[in-house]
Amino acid sequence: MNFLHIILIGWLYVTVLVSATEPNIVAGILTFILYGGIPCGLMLYFAGSKVRRQRARHLEALARQQEEVAKEASPEER
């Protein structure tokens, strides 16, 4: 678990406590979603973009490698 996850867990804890003090349930849910859910979701999305790019490049390289192996395994008729 990296540092960002610890910060986000702490922030979600704070937003749960803040939303629990709202006068009605709808205000509490909106407070949690707007102050906790959306910001944390965005942070996780932006933090994971580098990993997603690396994974996509890796999968493309594996696909190219498999195509090359398939071409070498099947003899071409000339």
pLDDT in single tens digits along all 78 residues of the chain: 688 899 999 999 999 999 999 999 999 999 999 999 999 999 989 988 888 899 999 999 999 999 888 888 876 654
Structure tokens at 30: 């909106």
Residue appearing with tokens 């999305």? 45
3-class state of residue 47 by DSSP: helix
pLDDT at site 33: 97
The proportion of the chain whose per-residue pLDDT surpasses 90, expressed as a percent, equals 68
Phi, psi of 75 (to 5 degrees): -70, 140
Read off the DSSP letter of residue 76. Answer: P
Q: Which residues of 39-54 are buried (b: 16+ CB within 10 A; e: fewer)?
A: ebeeeeeeeeeeeeee
| Helices 3-20 and 38-47, packing angle to 10 deg | 170
> In whole numbers, what is the pLDDT of the chain averaged over residues?
90
Structure tokens at 9: 């867990």
